[in-house]
Amino acid sequence: MDTEFITNTGKVEPCRQRFVAPPPNLTSQQAADLMLAGSGRGMRGRRKARQAVQGTLPFDIVAKGRFEKSEPTLHHGENLDEPTYIRRGVVLN
C-alpha cells in the first residue's frame, strides 16, 4: 500500500479563508421591489393557528348501572360526575 498520501504533520489548522460575495448594485427602488416580490414566494411566514374543534364520537348512551337511581354530585352548580375536560370545554390533542 502506498502511504505517500497519508502523512501526519502533527498540526491541523482550520481553513481561515472565506469568500463573501459583494452586494449587488441596486437602486433603492430595485431593492424595495425585490423585497416585495420575495415576500410572497419562497419565504417562510407565520401561519395563523387554526382554531381546534373538539368533536364528539357517536357512542351509545350507557346506563349508569347501580348508580342510576342516585342523585348527581353537585358542587357550586357543577355536576362532578361529568369528566372535568367536558365540563370545562378543554380540547384534547
Percent share of the chain, pLDDT over 70: 70
Q: How many residues does the chain have?
A: 93
CA distances from 2 to 5, 7, 69, 83 (A): 8, 11, 93, 76
Q: How confident is the model at residue 82 (pLDDT cuts 50, 70, 90)?
A: confident
**Nearest-angstrom CA–CA distance, 80 and 74:** 6
- Mean pLDDT of the chain, nearest integer: 77
pLDDT (tens digit per residue) in 39-49: 655 545 566 66
Q: What gap in Å lies between CA 90 and CA 54, rounded to an integer?
A: 8
| Band of pLDDT at residue 24, cut at 50, 70 and 90 | confident
User: Average pLDDT in the 47-57 region?
Assistant: 73
So what's the pLDDT on residue 75?
Answer: 93
Q: Residues near 54 by Cβ (< 8 Å), separated by ≥ 6?
A: 89, 91, 92
